[in-house]
Structure 1
């Protein structure tokens, strides 16, 4: 879950000279790639008006045609043609970063699309490739004794040797056998390997816990998936008729039509590294009073941190408990998951891995208020192995039945969805999947019951772990 603040809808060229990954392609990535192909075509043809026509509503509000044309003519087109390009990353099925090679300089372009597949983010930056690997071999607990050990090493080593990565913890559940691997350090320079109990931010994997809470309360008869959200909101909010068709189901499978993020999430410069900290219920309800939907609920997949935060807020109102309390009482205590929580105790904090941003510099861990259900949890590989196994083989109790409900397919148009779970294909095999990312962490979780295979990857660096996760799946399935 990378923060994408709507006020950062601008185009800027910063000319500051500072010192092949495989992705499981999503439909949204393919759409973004197709728009990028047009960007490159129009850029090289010096067609500013055609580039401007690719912009969405908010992009056009930020720039008039004349202002954009001026920027293009004075700052962009003098760079001459884009001679080469490649995808660097595609974060949270939303923001693509492309490497652009010009005759005299290499830049990167961050691009994101709105609900109508128009440009919503269009940001030129200095190219941030980490050109040097670590000087020495990063430490590991991997003994390289088995074929699987060696396959894991081959997938992981290129990642952990990057100068901007620090530590990595991996869990594999294969044919009922659990194996864990740890690489790097918990804090840069401390020479301390992570362990299976080291705690990381797990970002948007949190959403699967929120969906499990929803399913639990559905089975308890406290809510229905078809309940309109207006049933649980103040009258001042329900007066917004645009919300009347949004249901708990559409919040949980990202088809509500709500924005990805609320546009009143105003971040002060001092708060920018920790963007969700001060966004509270009052701000959320103020946003909902006047918001408009981007599409009819249930019609289109459109990933929404806002929607999942709202879902958890409603569940807290129903249960009378905070999000952290619900997760503990409904999920963690029954499964004896000792390291999973929103708020870390002093003992847990001592076992938390410091987090590092895209350039490898230490950055604050994230804090959450009302949007906690979209990405606030911390966990460990050992805990997430328990969680994955409980999802793969649900027991016949209340929690097991809740997990089963989250696996039921609820949407198949633009994405194949359960409740929060994405169903992805890796070399023709379907997996229940979610990943996560903050400014200083990256996470991956996928499982397939028939293959009796689950893979968890946790990193204390912003560098995406998706290629590691899918790479391991390809080796082991």
Structure 2
């Protein structure tokens, strides 16, 4: 028995030694790789392909022409901009991997070294993140006191415990009573919980505000849903017969036949992390001059940011006001939605979250120019519940009349759509909803007029919150 124990001990020591040797070897390999990597990273930011080429082994330089390597970097790598973040991503079969976050994209750099610490292979591939569950429950303001508290927690945990999510703000309106819950962080590593007044990007929920503005001007007689859009556009666009077929209503209910984005939306110099920022009215009109419709207007539902963005431009031309001025004058000021805006003031900026992409990496908030009406707004769950409450009440006023018009069904040959709002029906219950997404936030707002309930959910990560909102709504209705 003692000899067996001694043998087991010797084997264990041997395995431990081998394991330690392997770890040490991997550590040495990473140290060698790191020194080469930091040089490559430096030369990428300097756009110096010659120095990158000089890091290659003699064998590599025989196989790859420097001119060809330079062409590759000039075409595929340098347009992505400077490297903002980098990290070691693993070591497999002597090939070291490093994750690179550029100003306009993400790649994995892989290379293998020879005995002289020269790379004899180098490749760039798209980065694909591995999503896992966080090992420790994230912080929350949910006190888990009521049945609803516990139900919300169960639903929210399925979302916020994912490795690529950061913060979550939830608001519930139930027969006049408001409840709020915060989960996670407004900024990674800071430990600050989001609350009901934390400001996020709400993306395409903005389209319902645009619809409310449109409905107001329809009720005022300043525009008609049946008007051709060319009535409100420059004469140069009238020459395109495709545009003459589109009516104002088609822009709001996604039946215009216009593509989701203009043909010239992706252009040289565009910031892929802030894509709408520099797309201006001149570019939009240039695209419309030659655009071709994908379907006959009014016949097919096809979601279009371009269409609602164009509607916003038309509303600006009708009113003589900017989109933000319209939104403030007609919606947010009357409803005292003091934290909803297109442009953040210094005071509001202090409550604005950091935003993160689908991999959990920090990214840029989105800014808008010509297509602002499709997704430019920032808001809070408190403000969104004020907005939902006003839509539910529909008391006699010009704003309530506009809300009432926006709720009326305008298309039902697929998704059922009003003006801006989407509708779905569960038995006799009719729900109005819209979700939203930017490069670093996701949002969902839904309400039921008869039951006087609403749910607003916003996240500062590019991970959909639809299931969170719908799951909570189901619990409210059960």
When normalised by structure 1's length, the TM-score is 0.72
Q: Relative contact order (C-alpha < 8 Å, sep 6+): which is higher?
A: 1
Q: Which residue of 2 aligns with 1:384?
A: 384
Q: Contact (CA 8 Å) 1:455, 1:472: kept in 2 or not?
A: yes
> How far apart, CA to CA, are the structure 2 residues paired with 1:350 and 1:380?
13
Q: Which residue of 2 aligns with 1:181?
A: 181
1:397 lines up with 2:402 in the alignment = no
Aligned pairs for 1:252-401 (under 5 A) are 252-268=252-268, 271-401=271-401
Identify the structure with the greater helix proportion: 2
> How far apart, CA to CA, are the structure 1 residues paired with 2:397 and 2:306?
31
Q: Look up the SS of the partner of 1:152 in the other structure.
A: helix
> How far apart, CA to CA, are the structure 2 residues paired with 1:146 and 1:275?
43
Stretch of structure 1 that moved more, 266-275 or 220-229: 266-275
Q: CA deviation at 1:134?
A: 2.1
Q: Which residue of 2 aligns with 1:130?
A: 131
Q: CA deviation at 1:128?
A: 3.4
Q: Which residue of 2 aligns with 1:152?
A: 152
Q: Which residue of 2 aligns with 1:454?
A: 454
> How far apart, CA to CA, are the structure 1 residues paired with 2:415 and 2:148?
31
CA deviations 1:99-120 (Å, max 9, x no partner) are: xxxxxxxxxxxxxxxxxxxxxx
Q: CA deviation at 1:163?
A: 1.2
Q: Contact (CA 8 Å) 2:257, 2:302: kept in 1 or not?
A: yes
Q: Contact (CA 8 Å) 2:201, 2:378: kept in 1 or not?
A: yes
Q: Look up the SS of the partner of 2:355 in the other structure.
A: coil
Q: CA deviation at 1:425?
A: 4.2
> How far apart, CA to CA, are the structure 2 residues paired with 1:307 and 1:314?
11
Q: Look up the SS of the partner of 1:180 in the other structure.
A: strand
Q: Contact (CA 8 Å) 1:259, 1:294: kept in 2 or not?
A: yes
Q: Look up the SS of the partner of 2:179 in the other structure.
A: strand
Q: CA deviation at 1:415?
A: 1.2
Structure (1 or 2) with the larger CA radius of gyration: 2
> How far apart, CA to CA, are the structure 1 residues paired with 2:317 and 2:236?
16
Q: Which residue of 2 aligns with 1:40?
A: none
Q: Contact (CA 8 Å) 1:426, 1:470: kept in 2 or not?
A: no
> How far apart, CA to CA, are the structure 2 residues paired with 1:310 and 1:347?
31
Q: Contact (CA 8 Å) 1:426, 1:474: kept in 2 or not?
A: no
> How far apart, CA to CA, are the structure 2 residues paired with 1:195 and 1:475?
22
Against the structure 1 CA distance between its residues 427 and 466, is the aligned structure 2 distance closer, same or farther, given a 3 Å change threshold? farther
Against the structure 1 CA distance between its residues 184 and 311, is the aligned structure 2 distance closer, same or farther, given a 3 Å change threshold? same
> How far apart, CA to CA, are the structure 2 residues paired with 1:446 and 1:426?
13
Q: Look up the SS of the partner of 1:183 in the other structure.
A: strand
CA deviations 1:40-82 (Å, max 9, x no partner) are: xxxxxxxxxxxxxxxxxxxxxxxxxxxxxxxxxxxxxxxxxxx
> How far apart, CA to CA, are the structure 2 residues paired with 1:146 and 1:377?
33
> How far apart, CA to CA, are the structure 1 residues paired with 2:426 and 2:374?
25
> How far apart, CA to CA, are the structure 2 residues paired with 1:288 and 1:161?
44
Q: CA deviation at 1:221?
A: 1.1
Q: Contact (CA 8 Å) 2:270, 2:278: kept in 1 or not?
A: no
Q: CA deviation at 1:426?
A: 5.7
> How far apart, CA to CA, are the structure 1 residues paired with 2:139 and 2:171?
17
Aligned pairs for 1:86-235 (under 5 A) are 128-131=129-132, 133-235=133-235
> How far apart, CA to CA, are the structure 2 residues paired with 1:405 and 1:125?
46
Gapped runs of 5+ residues in structure 1?
Answer: 1-123
Q: Look up the SS of the partner of 2:382 in the other structure.
A: helix
Against the structure 1 CA distance between its residues 229 and 347, is the aligned structure 2 distance closer, same or farther, given a 3 Å change threshold? same
Against the structure 1 CA distance between its residues 180 and 427, is the aligned structure 2 distance closer, same or farther, given a 3 Å change threshold? farther
Q: Contact (CA 8 Å) 1:337, 1:383: kept in 2 or not?
A: yes
Q: CA deviation at 1:449?
A: 1.1
Q: Contact (CA 8 Å) 1:426, 1:473: kept in 2 or not?
A: no
| CA RMSD, 1 decimal | 1.5
CA deviations 1:421-440 (Å, max 9, x no partner) are: 01124688431010001110
Gapped runs of 5+ residues in structure 2?
Answer: 1-124
Q: CA deviation at 1:269?
A: 6.4
Q: Contact (CA 8 Å) 1:229, 1:248: kept in 2 or not?
A: yes
Against the structure 1 CA distance between its residues 269 and 290, is the aligned structure 2 distance closer, same or farther, given a 3 Å change threshold? closer
> How far apart, CA to CA, are the structure 1 residues paired with 2:310 and 2:265?
14
Against the structure 1 CA distance between its residues 311 and 342, is the aligned structure 2 distance closer, same or farther, given a 3 Å change threshold? same
Q: Look up the SS of the partner of 1:335 in the other structure.
A: coil
Q: Which residue of 1 aligns with 2:248?
A: 248
CA deviations 1:331-357 (Å, max 9, x no partner) are: 011001110000110111111011000
